[in-house]
Amino acid sequence: MGKPVNSLRSPRFCGIRTFQRLPHETDVSGNDFAVMGVPFDTGTSYRAGCRFGPAAIREVSAILKPYNHVLDVDVFEHLEGVDAGDMDIIPGYVDESFAVIERETARLCSQGATPVLLGGDHSVTLPELRGLTRTHGPVALLHFDAHSDTGNDFFGKPHNHGTTFYWAMEEGLVLPNQSSQIGIRGPLYSRDAWAYARSKGMQILDGWQVHALGTAETIRRARERVRPGTPVFVSFDIDFLDAACAPGTGTPEVGGFTTHDALALVQGICPGLNLVGMDMVEVLPEADHGAVTSLAAANIIFAFLSCLAHNRRGRK
Amino acid sequence: MGKPVNSLRSPRFCGIRTFQRLPHETDVSGNDFAVMGVPFDTGTSYRAGCRFGPAAIREVSAILKPYNHVLDVDVFEHLEGVDAGDMDIIPGYVDESFAVIERETARLCSQGATPVLLGGDHSVTLPELRGLTRTHGPVALLHFDAHSDTGNDFFGKPHNHGTTFYWAMEEGLVLPNQSSQIGIRGPLYSRDAWAYARSKGMQILDGWQVHALGTAETIRRARERVRPGTPVFVSFDIDFLDAACAPGTGTPEVGGFTTHDALALVQGICPGLNLVGMDMVEVLPEADHGAVTSLAAANIIFAFLSCLAHNRRGRK
Amino acid sequence: MGKPVNSLRSPRFCGIRTFQRLPHETDVSGNDFAVMGVPFDTGTSYRAGCRFGPAAIREVSAILKPYNHVLDVDVFEHLEGVDAGDMDIIPGYVDESFAVIERETARLCSQGATPVLLGGDHSVTLPELRGLTRTHGPVALLHFDAHSDTGNDFFGKPHNHGTTFYWAMEEGLVLPNQSSQIGIRGPLYSRDAWAYARSKGMQILDGWQVHALGTAETIRRARERVRPGTPVFVSFDIDFLDAACAPGTGTPEVGGFTTHDALALVQGICPGLNLVGMDMVEVLPEADHGAVTSLAAANIIFAFLSCLAHNRRGRK
Amino acid sequence: MGKPVNSLRSPRFCGIRTFQRLPHETDVSGNDFAVMGVPFDTGTSYRAGCRFGPAAIREVSAILKPYNHVLDVDVFEHLEGVDAGDMDIIPGYVDESFAVIERETARLCSQGATPVLLGGDHSVTLPELRGLTRTHGPVALLHFDAHSDTGNDFFGKPHNHGTTFYWAMEEGLVLPNQSSQIGIRGPLYSRDAWAYARSKGMQILDGWQVHALGTAETIRRARERVRPGTPVFVSFDIDFLDAACAPGTGTPEVGGFTTHDALALVQGICPGLNLVGMDMVEVLPEADHGAVTSLAAANIIFAFLSCLAHNRRGRK
Amino acid sequence: MGKPVNSLRSPRFCGIRTFQRLPHETDVSGNDFAVMGVPFDTGTSYRAGCRFGPAAIREVSAILKPYNHVLDVDVFEHLEGVDAGDMDIIPGYVDESFAVIERETARLCSQGATPVLLGGDHSVTLPELRGLTRTHGPVALLHFDAHSDTGNDFFGKPHNHGTTFYWAMEEGLVLPNQSSQIGIRGPLYSRDAWAYARSKGMQILDGWQVHALGTAETIRRARERVRPGTPVFVSFDIDFLDAACAPGTGTPEVGGFTTHDALALVQGICPGLNLVGMDMVEVLPEADHGAVTSLAAANIIFAFLSCLAHNRRGRK
Amino acid sequence: MGKPVNSLRSPRFCGIRTFQRLPHETDVSGNDFAVMGVPFDTGTSYRAGCRFGPAAIREVSAILKPYNHVLDVDVFEHLEGVDAGDMDIIPGYVDESFAVIERETARLCSQGATPVLLGGDHSVTLPELRGLTRTHGPVALLHFDAHSDTGNDFFGKPHNHGTTFYWAMEEGLVLPNQSSQIGIRGPLYSRDAWAYARSKGMQILDGWQVHALGTAETIRRARERVRPGTPVFVSFDIDFLDAACAPGTGTPEVGGFTTHDALALVQGICPGLNLVGMDMVEVLPEADHGAVTSLAAANIIFAFLSCLAHNRRGRK
């Protein structure tokens, strides 16, 4: 069971890099959450290299502190957590890696810890959901992204980071009627690009809408669909952020959102929901600078953990 | 006549780099538009190197897709286009290069294609307008920029990237009464810096105003000046964007705009206008990172093409 | 007494780098303001290297011009200024360096020039205030920052860049009841992190508030506390800006502000106040790109100088 | 049939990027050689991203000129060549991509052009050899590399960039007794790492030997094994160069070679041999700087083309 | 007791970063060596930031493998080792940090492990030697560096990274008559810069000499001074390497050495000596690119470990 | 008259940046040498931006110290020097800028100071020689470069950085029979590329020769041509260095030289010659990293100054 190192005693640039300076434990039993890396980038269609995403997020996460003043919650008053290291995926082999990811995600859940997973490209969410739903059943999805990732075929093959949610819906892993895709934008392959998701009942709050609606209304629309108690999974593709705010990603999109928007949305939507896991995907350190993308990712994860702590507090 | 390669069949990182994966053809006859590079940076007064702007924009433009969901238009349902390569300007020689640029721009127009020109520094717009007006006559200018570029003398010489629109107005190439300069900001050389342009009738919607007015009102003010049917040229200096959103430019300015602002303005002002050409200037890849500046440029060009397609559709 | 080189005659990339191309004079007598570097970074708790901040700000400040169109003031119609070079601090030795900084700041004040100081890390503000208050007595503080810097102990030691304002208040150098900390945000060490400052009467306008209140109301709240004639010191930590807008800093924070926000706040709060000095701290060039952070710093300093000139004009 | 653009007339930064400014033609018939990209990096075991290698090499290859003064040969007096673009590999799918690479390599050979292939990771050499040997039969291999790439299993799977030559030998595509691996160095997985290759008759001239033997003796040992007329394939992994000379690669090794060494070896070994193809692999632009790695790659390819021209001249 | 993770089973980019993927244990008892970070950079006189050196070396050390073919030794057949994390130094406070470093180094020695220490700037070697000599008594020093670091005063203060070996000799921690400084070069403060060290009996093999003598003779001269059984400490400042081979350092010097030179010297001098510890200092990741400097550091440490294993084997 | 600031008292990162921390004086009378920047890059044919070369060299030159142990000379025991700032060239205008450069170089000579000029691109050497020969008459040229720069026409125009020495010889500014071009290499435009220079009597010691001859023989061949007392000008294009050693340049070439080679050649050839000036050209900071190219340039200039001091000492 773990708490972070105290950065008022040990400087933040000291020590083996784990997420937020948590203990590194592979057995996660007894913890409320477990951070684990999924350094798989075989599914990328443009820039590769987000296999180094988990390391980059860990490196800069040392800058985090425990108290969230917006939610007025000290995360580690309410939660124990550890960094469980990385999953040993198999670069270049999709199916074999998916099996590892599914198995490991299921293990974390079965040991009672909420998985907080660091991608890797967005294809990893499919096997994560396969593993997670073994314990929790189908989930409501809160999907922050510039891309809907609901294609069904790239280059004649089924799996890459652009088809994740097509298969997730096909396999019944998500509950589209309680789910939202937020921030989707940019040029599309065709007028029909979002038709499948919408036909399944998914709510798409595209980027132009979110800019127009504002944060508060977007929060309302996302929250109102989720029925009380439904297990909720947050999948955050860092390219939800504007390319200028998160240059370190594989398929950046302009016209996006600031980190303040992202924190406001996560901290606005998640309180009170039955959060069963999250992932943070598509952080590509080689294209980053000054670690701003990794830093954004670390803070958004911290926002999720704050909501988890907030909800835990509420339950007591 | 050309359409882009299908990126669902051929990965976006494959192939010789042309704008948006269009065919490379030097004879542009039969096309609705032609992209052409103008890699001239002899006119820069601070950081040099935007001769590599066209290559950088092409490289990242592979990420574009054909359908614009905001305007609900598939660009290539309505338009044929090619990438005509670069103009063979003569580095270090202003007048000789201007002659090449004027001749080549005129050729594209005379072959019936709308020129979409990739600078190069902003001095290139003067010879572009000289060439363009041979076919179209004087144009209304939509000028997005942090700088008005209406000086008349730098270091005792007439031509560099800060004097373009002084000469364009002097030579009668633009119609100031129908034109707007949008986003101008930053410290100025003197209180009189904008006096010449205003005396000619140019509307300056400076950066502080645009922030205060908002996108919708700015669109209204820019549109209301343009008389129906007047040929319109869009000149987009990437430093219109905030320095944080477009670091890859020669004279970046803070206090600027996001890519969402830029897309909203272009897609708000241009529909219904008689668009006869555009340029995208001052992209400086050496100062960029993660290609965010080139990516912004590519998307703004795509916004222009979307308006062109939208207008074409409307006309049918 | 000094004015900048004219960049319409001498290109901006020419010459020995001083702030805004001002003359370099070590004796500052007869000037209205003096820019001086304080390249001390021994007090940093995360990324080091802001000893190169002054050089980076000077390098890019060549891009500044003299006229501020928002305040309608030409800075050098009203002010004479010089660049007095850097203080010879002693890297690795806190107390010895603080003595140098205090002495040099006091010298500038006693020679009649308003100090405009380029850090260095934020620990330098403490000895600056010690020096400044010798002439001016306790000051109202306008503190722009992501962090309140009011800790009293790091690693068992009293001084680093996180304890500056604890000691400044303890030593009676600032007047908390007339002062404001603006933009403070991010995770905190504990629920009590801001308790000390508030107990002293300091106004904290935290980042979430500033986003919610907007610029105009923030300006109002900061101004209303300052009594007429009270000497005012502006301490600007560049991490007030969002990490995406100012990546070149030691402890970047997401969820922050744009350069437009910063300029609006400085130019909104400062007019009419009795400005007796400013510093710009925590610019870390090694983590910057395209010099956007240094550029932001230079423009914010220019905004301060514009207010100084505006106030001087008003007084005549 | 193609010659490069004349860079004394058209500046080298102008035009659509093809290798050495050659024409872009997909049908290569009638040419002596054809450059083609193989942007496949699914086989990488450490840093990913060499899918952008072909684009980077093309970009900087514009700097090449036609005459090689060391061999006293003007390449394009003797050779016609084109840039055939990239193979449409399928990212994330090894076998399917290998089929494309084999087919395309075979096509180039059957159209009579010597393939000059731009990787991509080193796994691509296996399907290249499968395609090439359809026309030429088994080849003598000149393999420049820091790694022998003769493992037979990574993570339980057969194919990645570390197993290429194990399978090439197993499949009878290379003639080990006439082949050499040059420059192999760095820590190894075990004492037996080179045992398989040596058991097949491969000559390993490891890095320490090459440093000790010098260029002339290394050339002699590599040449003496190749029987007159045997088809020879040159496979050049850019990490043959020292990490300081070629930082832009996926698994850099220290203790390596300079570009002068590389040019001396290629231009020393290849004259007079029956060269039937080459590849240049593992160029990773994201980890490069100043394009030094791509520049090295372009020049080594030019050295190969110079030998090809030299041999052609000799034959006449 | 520890061995590295097998990188043929778990990809090298997976897992929490420890040196060469060793286990992380703070109690090092039972191990032959212990790697520990000393992230102290308060002593730097030019570029700061090598507090991040240990993290950068660990990150890239994942690329190392266990077998050294030059010495024909598998390191982990003969040695157990762990990564003990970092020492909690106190940034900005020299004496207090020196006490921590001395205590922790002494602890590693007293627990029976050979310390392999990752700086941090070169000032750390002084307290390391204080700690080490508690167990081993005065040591012969093998000092690889561009600078002799034997000044006695910078800015009026005794301790920074340029005075380390003055104090080490003054305090009797090293045996100058058995020690060598190798590679010293570059402009000096005065003709007398090396006088103190030579007066104590230190052998200086300056950079020009090493270039002229060659590796073999340099090895001979360094070895012949060390008496059998004398405890030997290797202090390797990465700026021994040429600035082009190790750009990521605080005070780079041109005219230096390649990584091949460095490996040859370490592996040539150390076999058979009584090695009691080493440090690798002055790696500055912010100034590095492509991790070439960290990679060099990791490989030189591996060379040291190989010698340790070789000596251990010899003793059995 | 000037000496550098003492870096044992004032840290090297302090102060306004002048070359080697010399005083900044525009009147150079009474000094032995004057450093002056020539930030002109209008003549570049590939990558632009070396207008920032002087600033970058100055920035890193703070790391230099006064004593050269190879020549056993303390530069400032024998020489007074200042940094005279930059010439106000006119970007984009060749002839006008050449007039400025000629006039300013002549002024330095007429004031009795040896010019040490910091380019800018290599076209600046032509007007420098025009100015210099007014005082000294035709000079023997020691030209270190990867390119001979003796073309007579690029893009139909006479002047760019590739035609400098054609015109210098045509105008009788250099004495080819006493001059040498050293290090020329890389592909050439044609077999005749060097014919003109050789027909004039210039000695070309090309790169392959220099590698083969070694430093000592190259020194001998360069020295033996210079008659006693002939005024000698050293023109050093930083691309003489290998692309890996000097990535920050406009037209880098592989197969080049190390900084040790460069220092050995300059310090080997220049002693005893009548040195009347030098320039260091083509440093392009935007393509540099870790300042290694600027650092190399600063050290080579220091080697020249050391020879100047050595010769001065000899004369006394």
> pLDDT, tens digit, for every residue of D187-224?
999 999 999 999 999 999 999 999 999 999 999 999 99
Give the integer Cα–Cα distance in Å for E278 and F51. 44
How far CA D168 is from CA of C284, D159, E107, in Å, comes to 51, 11, 52
At A305 the pLDDT is: 98
Q: What is the mean pLDDT of chain E?
A: 96
pLDDT at F1 over 70: no
At F313 the pLDDT is: 85
Residue D107 CB neighbour total at 10 angstroms: 21
- Given pLDDT bands bounded at 50, 70 and 90, which one contains residue B316? low
Does D255 touch chain E if contact means CB atoms closer than 8 Å?
yes
Interface test with E, best of D211, D241, D254, D294 (most E CBs within 10 A): D254
- Quick: pLDDT tens for E108-149: 999 999 999 999 999 999 999 999 999 999 999 999 999 999
Give the integer Cα–Cα distance in Å for C292 and C310. 26
**Which residues face C139 on adjacent strands?**
C174
Among B261-270, E155-164, F26-35, where is mean pLDDT lowest?
E155-164
- Tell which residue, C69, A91, F155, has the closest CA to residue D157: A91
Q: Which residue has the tokens 């910057």?
A: C288
At D316 the pLDDT is: 53
* Mean pLDDT for the stretch of residues F208-215: 97
* Mean pLDDT for the stretch of residues B42-48: 95
Closest Cα in chain A, distance from residue D284 (Å): 11
- Quick: pLDDT tens for C144-159: 999 999 998 888 898 9
- Quick: pLDDT tens for F161-175: 999 999 999 999 999
Does F94 touch chain B if contact means CB atoms closer than 8 Å?
yes
Give the integer Cα–Cα distance in Å for E277 and E275. 6
pLDDT at E173 over 70: yes
Of all residues in chain B, the one with the smallest CA distance to D57 is B16
* Mean pLDDT for the stretch of residues A66-94: 97
At C313 the pLDDT is: 85
What is the DSSP code string of A140-171?
Answer: EEEEE-SS----S-BTTBS-STTSHHHHHHHT
The answer to whether A88 and A100 are in contact (CB under 8 A) is: yes
Tell me what percent of the residues of chain E surpass a pLDDT of 70: 99
* Mean pLDDT for the stretch of residues A154-164: 91
pLDDT at C117 over 90: yes
Longest alpha-carbon distance in chain E:
56
Interface test with A, best of B7, B10, B20, B63 (most A CBs within 10 A): B63
| Contact list, E155 vs chain C (CB under 8 Å) | 88, 90-91, 93
At B153 the pLDDT is: 85
* Mean pLDDT for the stretch of residues C163-185: 98
- Quick: pLDDT tens for C27-51: 999 999 999 999 999 999 999 999 9
* Mean pLDDT for the stretch of residues B213-233: 98
DSSP letter (8 states) at residue F257: B
Give the integer Cα–Cα distance in Å for D155 and B203. 65
At E315 the pLDDT is: 64
- Given pLDDT bands bounded at 50, 70 and 90, which one contains residue B215? very high
Dihedral pair phi/psi, residue D236, rounded to 5°: -115, 110
Those residues with Cβ within 8 angstroms of residue E45's Cβ, 6 or more apart along the chain or in another chain: C91, E154, E160, E161, E162, E250, E251, F11, F12
Angle at F184 between CA F179 and CA F186, to 5 degrees: 165
Tell me what percent of the residues of chain E surpass a pLDDT of 90: 96
Does B49 touch chain F if contact means CB atoms closer than 8 Å?
yes
- Tell which residue, A126, A133, A178, A116, has the closest CA to residue A303: A116
Give the integer Cα–Cα distance in Å for B43 and B160. 4
Nearest to F242 among D63, D70, D258 (CB): D258
At C1 the pLDDT is: 66
* Mean pLDDT for the stretch of residues E157-172: 95
Angle at A291 between CA A288 and CA A296, to 5 degrees: 100
- Given pLDDT bands bounded at 50, 70 and 90, which one contains residue D229? very high
At D154 the pLDDT is: 87
* Mean pLDDT for the stretch of residues A119-131: 98
Helix, strand, coil shares of chain E, percent, nearest 5, are: 40, 20, 40
Does E51 touch chain A if contact means CB atoms closer than 8 Å?
yes
At F154 the pLDDT is: 87
- Quick: pLDDT tens for A262-316: 999 999 999 999 999 999 999 999 999 999 999 999 999 999 999 999 999 866 5
Residue B193 CB neighbour total at 10 angstroms: 18
Q: How far is CA D82 from the centre of its chain?
A: 17
Nearest to B154 among C8, C69, C260 (CB): C8
Does C272 touch chain B if contact means CB atoms closer than 8 Å?
no
Of all residues in chain F, the one with the smallest CA distance to B286 is F286
pLDDT at B196 over 70: yes
How far CA F304 is from CA of F175, F225, F275, F307, in Å, comes to 21, 19, 9, 5
Longest alpha-carbon distance in chain F:
56
* Termini Cα distance of chain A: 19
DSSP letter (8 states) at residue A269: H
Those residues with Cβ within 8 angstroms of residue A219's Cβ, 6 or more apart along the chain or in another chain: A264, A265, A268, A269
Does B15 touch chain A if contact means CB atoms closer than 8 Å?
no
Those residues with Cβ within 8 angstroms of residue B133's Cβ, 6 or more apart along the chain or in another chain: B139, B173
Tokens of D20: 């050495």
At C82 the pLDDT is: 98
Q: Inter-chain contact B242–C244, Cβ cutoff 8 Å?
A: no
Q: Inter-chain contact C51–E51, Cβ cutoff 8 Å?
A: no
* Mean pLDDT for the stretch of residues D173-192: 97
Strand, helix or coil at D233? strand
Closest Cα in chain A, distance from residue D220 (Å): 39
Number of H helices, E strands in chain D: 10, 10
pLDDT at A168 over 60: yes
Tell me which chains share at least 3 CB pairs under 8 Å with chain B.
Answer: A, C, D, F
* Mean pLDDT for the stretch of residues D74-97: 97
At E316 the pLDDT is: 53
Interface test with F, best of D3, D6, D67, D257 (most F CBs within 10 A): D67
Give the integer Cα–Cα distance in Å for A308 and A298. 15
Those residues with Cβ within 8 angstroms of residue A303's Cβ, 6 or more apart along the chain or in another chain: A68, A262, A263, A266, A267, A270
Tokens of A196: 């499948």
- Given pLDDT bands bounded at 50, 70 and 90, which one contains residue B2? confident
At C56 the pLDDT is: 98
Give the integer Cα–Cα distance in Å for C280 and C121. 9
Q: What is the mean pLDDT of chain F?
A: 96
pLDDT at E1 over 90: no
E41-71 b/e (C-beta count within 10 Å ≥ 16 → b): bbbbbbbbbbbbbbbbbbbbbbbbbbbbbbb
Those residues with Cβ within 8 angstroms of residue F251's Cβ, 6 or more apart along the chain or in another chain: D63, F45, F46, F47, F146, F147, F239, F282
At D13 the pLDDT is: 96
- Tell which residue, F72, F94, F153, F101, has the closest CA to residue F277: F101
Tell me which chains share at least 3 CB pairs under 8 Å with chain A.
Answer: B, C, D, E
pLDDT at D133 over 90: yes
Give the integer Cα–Cα distance in Å for E25 and E37. 13
* Mean pLDDT for the stretch of residues F129-151: 97
Residue F139 CB neighbour total at 10 angstroms: 25
Those residues with Cβ within 8 angstroms of residue F230's Cβ, 6 or more apart along the chain or in another chain: F139, F140, F175, F178, F273, F274
The answer to whether B261 and B215 are in contact (CB under 8 A) is: yes
Give the integer Cα–Cα distance in Å for F222 and E199. 40
Give the integer Cα–Cα distance in Å for C27 and C82. 9
The answer to whether C155 and E90 are in contact (CB under 8 A) is: yes
Residue C307 CB neighbour total at 10 angstroms: 25
Interface test with D, best of F148, F238, F239, F254 (most D CBs within 10 A): F254
Q: How many residues does chain F have?
A: 316
pLDDT at A144 over 90: yes
Q: Inter-chain contact E67–D255, Cβ cutoff 8 Å?
A: no
Q: Give kind and range of the element (H or E) at residue F149.
A: none
**Which residues face B24 on adjacent strands?**
B83
* Mean pLDDT for the stretch of residues B101-117: 98
- Quick: pLDDT tens for C241-257: 999 999 999 999 999 99
DSSP letter (8 states) at residue B258: -
Closest Cα in chain F, distance from residue B45 (Å): 7
Does F247 touch chain D if contact means CB atoms closer than 8 Å?
yes
Cβ burial, residue F152 (10 Å; 0-12/13-18/19+): exposed
At E2 the pLDDT is: 86
Does B292 touch chain A if contact means CB atoms closer than 8 Å?
yes
